[in-house]
Structure 1
Amino acid sequence: MFDRFKVVNLSPPQIIVLVYIVIIIIGALLLAVPFSTTHSLSFLNALFTATSAMTITGLSVVDTGQTFTLFGQLVILLLIQIGGLGIMTFAMFFFMLLGRKIGLKERILMQQSMNQTEIGGIIYLAKRLLLYSIITELIGTFFLTLRWGPEMGWLRGFYQALFHSVSSFNNAGFSTWSDSLNRYAGDPTVNIVITFLFMIGGIGFTVLIDIWTKKHFKQLTLQSKVMLVGTLAINLISVIAVFILEYSNPHTLGPLSFHDKLWAAYFQGTMPRTAGFSTVDVGSLHHPTLFLMCLLMFIGAGSGSTGGGIKLTTFVTMLLCVIYFLRGKSDVVIFKRTIPQSTIVRALAITFLSCSVIFIAIFILDITEKAPLLEIMFEAVSAFGTTGATMGLTPHLSLLGRIVIIFVMLIGKLGPLTLAFSFSRQQTTLIRHPKENILTG
């Protein structure tokens, strides 16, 4: 499959970027054909939708349920699944079906696409990833079918359950309903199942496998410990913050009963880092809540997960680095483990590049779009974090604005470092120059 790339000597990051672009274009062509839509759709809008699905973002310039036929929705669902699990996972699956040997080049590509530090055990990880994904999505489909089957008919209920289960687990945020999940703001089943799916998908597959194979918390890897504790802490803080900030808002939690307020606050507090669904009108949230959501979307999910953002582990690393620097300590230690200097430098590079991408996007959109700065910032951060939450600006984006968001979604999915490495040539040198300080701060 990848032998032809050897002729032009493409690096793994370049191959990954190229394959993503090719699949997005194919998806856009499929969505643009007449039998995919209920009415004519421009290629740019089809490209926007395909990019959003492939990057598991969820932003849409058209109403998914009203614009696309069953075929079109299935194309979107397939793009979501490929984007969520990774291109190389699907490639490995087809290699196995064809009985083809998975060589070193394919393993390196899988390592790059799955954001793993080591090539050893990558096939095992990919197999488990595929198995866990299918099982989790089927479990979600089963429970949602039980909830929606009696309400809308078993066949339609099953389809809606399948669509939302795949979309949730892959943290895509696509819904066939115009109001997302607003109609189920106080529904325990929908809230629990949907949040369970996008939390499992967003925590990272290496963490899930680690939890499955280890019996005690102390035996877990540092990655797993940081993700579990960090996810619990950040979700708890954000849920409490949303509940307090929006409690009296007449356009969000205000009209709801206390029971429904709790469910809506729980959903909106856990959603921004990854999912893109909503059970209240996001555009009606108070400004402090929207700023909090921007921070959560920027942080994102876990490394090696279906979510985007700079990743929770990157945020924790940067936070600990600042804390230990202020305490006058040179080593960053967590759970009795010292974080390597190379990891800190990588986290710094990811954070800086991510901020740069978002800043450039906001700058351009502020010129092209007639919208408040907060809406523009929210849109840009949501696109980069591949979250898919919107204050309502997406359908009204200009031509250039849509192109900008397409690029931001792609960068957010692939990661700024992958994009940077794909355009640069990494060189190693044995030359060491003298050290000299410069003034900072």
Structure 2
Amino acid sequence: MRVLRLLVYYVLTRVRARRFRSRKALEAWQHRKVVALVRRVRQQSPFYRSYYQGLDAQNWRSFPTIDKAVMMDHFDRLNTAGITKEEAFRIALRAERERDFSAQIGDIAVGLSSGTSGSRGLFLVSAKERAAWAGTVLAKALPASLLVRQRIAFFLRADSHLYQSVRSKRLQFRFYDMIHPVEDNVRLLSEQQPTLLVAPPSMLRLLAEAQLAGELFIAPGKLISVAEVLEPLDKRLIEQAFGVRVDQIYQCTEGFLAATCSQGTLHLNEDILVIEKEYVDEEQRIFSPIITDFSRETQPIMRYRLNDLLTEATQPCACGSTFTAIASIEGRTDDLFYGRDADTQRLVPIFPDFIRRAVIMSSERIKEYKVVQQSDRQLEVALRVDGAPEELQPELAAALSKLFTSRGCMAPLIAFVPYEADEGLRKLRRVERKWKV
């Protein structure tokens, strides 16, 4: 039954990709899906029944939003499976400690988010939803037809029934635990010879360096970056090492949000969810997404404000899709830098992508970097470069100072520190703000 459902959603996803010839048709279809979802969820979820009491489902775009804090505060009443937060945390934490992710509550898989936003979150996914997710992901991510045999190598912080649901007779799926030494995973990867390699960009970079050093010998037909922001610096090195384009899957606890098309453009998955745009900077087309996912009901995601920043593309994609094209994933709103206006003393936002550009444009010798904002006047910069880092520091400091002063802000105090690679399961964040606004 699971395989049949997976195949159904695989075909549906392929058909929907060609179905919508205009934004108007897509949005009308989405509206009908969300209205039906609101009506079902109000019956099944005590939280939403109360939260949306007396509201007309037709006006769902004006409903109050939720965020991670609200979802976790009301977890017991929000989910439709009757699972308590205490029970879900107990199972998820045990799985993390023992590195055994097979436990379920009935047919409900329980997972734990990575907690990069400061607090850990829970997600619940039913067997039906896992099969639907797998069919959708395979339709968008596989380098060839589902009938072609594939060897998939999947690196992530934690395994899950969600990821294992893509396994079939034609799909050999191997999970690589990122807690294990890189050398061990390199050896196993050489044995597997994957046709599809899926990993966070920090891991893809380590594997690319192993490939360039002659320690890894694989030739995947497709590379997919997940879980972290794919930086241009890392993308270039990874593509150089493996000779293929790095595509992206934008997946988080809250849903499968976007995937790269045949032309290399990231598109929102508007066939399974609605993403409303809450603009942070409309002129630069930078927005925070508000998600309504009509593919999930065990843990309904309804007008959920995500703590991310996306930049919308200026031009339609050559692939012809009506789904919104994304120029870049900026990162989290918590990593938005702020400068202090030299005249008014007010805080002025400076987007992560501008920090990245200032760094990588300052010198081709920069291999890796981290920029941390410790306060409104203090930046901490770490570099890994060809040669001596000290030679590049004046030019980079000038570029970062110019970035702030060009926006009318006081120039920051810049301290250079030794570069240290993140170890273990911590997500790589090359641009990070550590002070609260």
- The reply to whether TM is greater than 0.5 is no
Q: Which has more helix, going by share of residues?
A: 1
Q: TM-score, normalised to structure 1's length?
A: 0.28
User: Which of the pair is proportionally richer in strand?
Assistant: 2
TM-score, with normalisation over the residues of structure 2? Answer: 0.28
